[in-house]
Amino acid sequence: MTKPAHVNTVIIDTDPGIDDAIAILYALGHAGMNVVAITTVAGNIGLSVTTRNAGRICALAGVDTPVHAGAAAPLGREARPETGIHGNDGLGGVEFPEPAQAPRSHDAVAAMQAILEAHPPHSIDLHCLGPLTNLALLLQHAPAAAARIRRVIAMGGAVDEPGNVGAKAEFNLAHDPQAAALVLAAGLDLTLIPLDATRQLRADATYIAALHATGHTPAIAVAELIEAYFAANSAESRPLHDPCVPLFAQNPQLFRVEERGLAVDVDTGALIPGPLRIKVAMGLDAPALRAALLHGLSS
């Protein structure tokens, strides 16, 4: 693989989760991303499972990326897992090794703060693949450290699209609406990748076969994860929500980004018209991104 022009230093904040696992495997294998930590949050499944899964994903990828466990519940409310899609183990029952090492810590926010303070200002990207609880807590407890973040790319929300939690809300923002409201209002360099874009990046049986045909372990694991995704829903294809985050980081030219005036409904987590000017990805080049994902998982 040719050496990338620029290597992004990245913290991945995540609730793995089938589609999280696909995103993480792509990021860990991409020469253009240096993942310095994975921080976990309760969301798709409880915190102990998302944290164990982060370790399992790293073990399959053959990396010793530090995993730090974060928030076990949203701000001010109970956690509500989504085992219907991700299964009781959070990875659809797909065979993954056990973690090769214990979590580095059980304080993701302190770890984020330490990493941000140890690196030059505006040199770290944050990829958010789950509820925004950890980032909200960082903003509350270490605002100076949060101000050192270069940019945040977060999968979340539904702008013009219907939601997947009720009519208008999307799971990540609906799981912790208070955190979402805090993050969107914080003035960070934030790009949201909502369902409007992620539902356009779909995987079908042909794509699964192409992943298997590469013979590469990460690509085969992703094929099995997508097959598990199908088990939860018999549609022709399944949307690849979270992989859009690292794919955007490495291929921004393949996305159409608009700026919208938004706010967060703090009861439901739905995005509503409001005063916050937020960059939102509203379209993408799905064939080119599928090819980039397959290439990244098999090179």
Residues that bind ligand RIB (CB under 6 A): 15, 17, 19-20, 43-44, 129-130, 155, 164, 170-172, 241-242
Omega within 30 of 0 (cis) for the link into 17: yes
User: Is 127 a residue of the active site?
Assistant: no
Backbone angles phi and psi of 277, in degrees to 5: -85, 110
Q: Residue 17 or 92: which CB sits closer to Ca ion?
A: 17
With CB atoms as reference, the residue minimizing the distance to ligand RIB is: 171
Nearest distance from C-beta of residue 14 to Ca ion, angstroms: 6
Asked if 17 touches Ca ion (CB under 5 A), the answer is: yes
Which parts of the chain fold into alpha helices (H)? 18-29, 47-61, 83-86, 108-118, 133-141, 143-146, 171-175, 177-184, 195-198, 205-214, 217-231, 244-250, 286-297
Q: Considering the complex, state which of residue 172 and residue 298 has its C-beta at the smaller distance from ligand RIB.
A: 172
CB of 42 to ligand RIB, least distance (A): 10
Region 213-272 residues binding Ca ion, contact defined as CB under 5 A: 242
Question: Which of 49, 129, 284, 289 is in the footprint of Ca ion by CB under 5 A?
Answer: 129
- Nearer Cβ to Ca ion (32/130): 130
In the bound state with ligand RIB, the residue whose beta carbon lies nearer, of 15 and 125, is 15
Identity of the residue, 81 or 145, whose beta carbon is nearer to ligand RIB in the bound complex = 81
Stretch that binds Ca ion, among 123-131, 177-185, 221-229, 244-252 (CB under 5 A): 123-131
Distance CA 214, CA 42 (A): 33
CB burial readout 105-129, b (16+ within 10 A) else e:
bebbbbbbbbbbeeeeeeebbbbbb
Smallest Cα–Cα separation from 176: which of 78, 278, 110, 106? 78
Give the nearest distance from C-beta 39 to Ca ion in angstroms: 13
For residue 170, give both structure tokens.
Answer: 């999307």
Among 86, 141, 241, 295, the active-site one is: 241
**The pairing of beta strand 238-239 with beta strand 271-273:** unpaired
Q: Which of 221, 227, 283, 207 is nearest to 252 (CA)?
A: 283
Min dist CB 114 to Ca ion, Å, is: 24
Between CA 225 and CA 95 the distance in angstroms is 9
The token pair that represents 276 in the structure block: 């916050």
Distances in Å between the Cα of 127 and the Cα atoms of 52, 190, 204 are 19, 10, 25
The reply to whether 130 sits near Ca ion by the rule CB under 5 A is yes
Choose the contact partner of 164 out of ligand RIB, Ca ion, none; CB within 5 to 8 A by kind.
ligand RIB
> At its nearest, how many Å lie between Ca ion and the CB of residue 23?
8
Question: Using CB under 5 A as the criterion, which residues of the chain lie in contact with Ca ion when the complex forms?
Answer: 15, 17, 20, 129-130, 242
The catalytic residues are 241
